[in-house]
């Protein structure tokens, strides 16, 4: 298979004067075929940006090998560079005093794009992200959302084979995030010979955009699979919350005896309505029918029912043993 990216046992150690060597990447391996949006999901300090910087030839791996579009990132970096684009969140990149239009033009010329093609593409992409009317604004006058839309345009105009998006929606307002996500998805969908590597610490973003997601933590890949697979792997039970007009513990016991679902039922109270709520952790999905029939037989009327779908958040919790927020507080400060 012809891969856009191959990464084989890559490590990266940072040495800082006066402190122990820091292992930011501890041997990661993954491959990404063309036509895919591949997600790197992990908390701050996980090693996402370090990986992107190595693939974008801005940083050398300490050991291991990586290729981008078939070229070795270390040996053939000069061949890799014209084929890639890099858009980072948080970056205040470029030259603030230039206008949106001037800055994009300048980048297109760095890449040696023909004048006509550059002008046409800049206009088309600026219109697409809704920034054409803002083309004469100075870069340093833009909101984060506007700036990230321009940065995305900058990443797209050169039509890279591999586009790296490092937290492209970090700190961006909801509306701009939606625009950015749509454009990224359409861009890949229309080009089977292109690929996007996206890092994010927004679970929902990875879930929505990526065909595959690597969960990274402390320099290691803990899982690499389709989001649906990551969620499936969690547990085989199906969870329901059922709010009823009335139900008490005696009835739940009777219900348990009749259906044989005793160990799978918990009675609590619906926080919103204060009505009794039955939580069912079912081994077999089909048992939900049995349970509902038994409930109405017991004289309870069902008011509200919700199936709890597992999230990538649960997948992360399951793999790492704690939540994202807990992790973030532990990332060491960089000087």
Ligand X SMILES: Nc1ncnc2c1ncn2[C@@H]1O[C@H](COP(=O)(O)OP(=O)(O)O)[C@@H](O)[C@H]1O
Site residues (vs ligand X, CB under 6 A): 14, 16, 22, 24, 42, 44-50, 331-332, 334
Residue 169 interacting partner from ligand X, Mg ion, none (CB closer than 5 to 8 Å by kind): none
On the CB side of 174, how many CA atoms lie within 13 Å of its CA? 1
Q: With contact defined as beta carbons under 8 Å apart, do 111 and 158 qualify?
A: yes
- For Mg ion, the binding residue among 7, 49, 206, 295 (CB under 5 A) is 49
Q: Considering CB distances under 5 to 8 angstroms, the limit depending on partner class, which of Mg ion, ligand X, none binds residue 47?
A: ligand X
Stretch that binds Mg ion, among 20-28, 49-57, 105-113, 242-250 (CB under 5 A): 49-57
Of the two residues 48 and 181, which places its CB atom closer to ligand X in the complex? Answer: 48
CA 220 – CA 136 distance, rounded (Å): 44
300 makes contact, choosing from ligand X, Mg ion, none, with CB < 5 to 8 Å by partner type, with none
Cβ count near 223 (within 10 Å): 18
Give me the residue label for tokens 């800055």. 103
Using DSSP's 3-state secondary structure scheme, residue 242 falls into strand
The backbone torsions φ and ψ at residue 17, rounded to the nearest 5 degrees and listed phi first, read -55, 130
Cβ neighbours of residue 220 closer than 8 Å, sequence gap 6 or more: 26, 27, 28
Closer CB to ligand X, 48 or 231, in the complex? 48
User: Taking CB positions, which residue lies at the least distance from Mg ion?
Assistant: 49
Give min distance, CB of 80 to ligand X, in A: 19
> DSSP code of 191?
-
> Which of 50, 300 has the CB closer to Mg ion?
50
Instruction: Give least dist CB 240 to Mg ion, A.
Output: 38
Per the structure block, which two tokens stand in for 192? 């089977």
Q: Any contact of residue 88 with Mg ion (CB under 5 A)? A: no
Q: How many residues bind Mg ion (CB under 5 A)?
A: 2
- The residues binding Mg ion (CB under 5 A) are 48-49
């Amino acid at each position: 298979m012809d891969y856009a990216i191959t990464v084989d046992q890559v490590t990266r150690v940072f040495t800082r004067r006066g402190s122990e060597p820091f292992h930011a990447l501890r041997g990661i391996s993954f491959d990404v075929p063309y036509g895919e949006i591949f997600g790197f999901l992990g908390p701050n300090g996980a090693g996402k940006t370090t990986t992107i910087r190595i693939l974008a030839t801005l940083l050398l791996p300490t050991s291991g090998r990586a290729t981008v579009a078939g070229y070795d990132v270390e040996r053939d970096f000069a061949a890799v560079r014209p084929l890639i684009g890099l858009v980072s969140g948080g970056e205040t990149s470029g030259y603030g005093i230039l206008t949106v239009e001037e800055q994009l033009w300048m980048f297109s010329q760095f890449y040696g794009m023909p004048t006509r093609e550059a002008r046409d593409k800049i206009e088309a992409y600026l219109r697409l992200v809704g920034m054409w009317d803002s083309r004469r604004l100075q870069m340093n006058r833009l909101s984060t959302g506007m700036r990230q839309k321009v940065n995305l345009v900058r990443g797209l105009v050169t039509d890279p084979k591999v586009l790296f998006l490092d937290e492209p929606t970090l700190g961006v307002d909801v509306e701009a995030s939606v625009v950015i996500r749509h454009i990224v998805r359409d861009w890949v969908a229309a080009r089977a010979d292109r690929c996007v590597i996206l890092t994010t610490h927004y679970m929902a973003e990875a879930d929505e955009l990526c065909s595959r997601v690597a969960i990274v933590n402390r320099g290691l890949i803990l899982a690499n699979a389709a989001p649906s697979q990551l969620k499936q792997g969690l547990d085989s039970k199906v969870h329901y919350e059922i709010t009823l007009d009335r139900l008490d513990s005696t009835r739940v016991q009777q219900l348990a005896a009749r259906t044989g679902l005793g160990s799978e039922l918990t009675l609590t109270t619906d926080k919103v309505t204060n009505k009794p709520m039955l939580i069912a952790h079912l081994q077999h999905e089909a048992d939900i029918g049995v349970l509902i029939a038994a409930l109405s037989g017991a004289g309870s009327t069902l008011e509200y029912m919700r199936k709890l779908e597992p999230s990538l958040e649960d997948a992360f919790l399951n793999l790492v043993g704690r939540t994202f927020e807990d992790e973030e507080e532990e990332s060491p400060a960089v000087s």
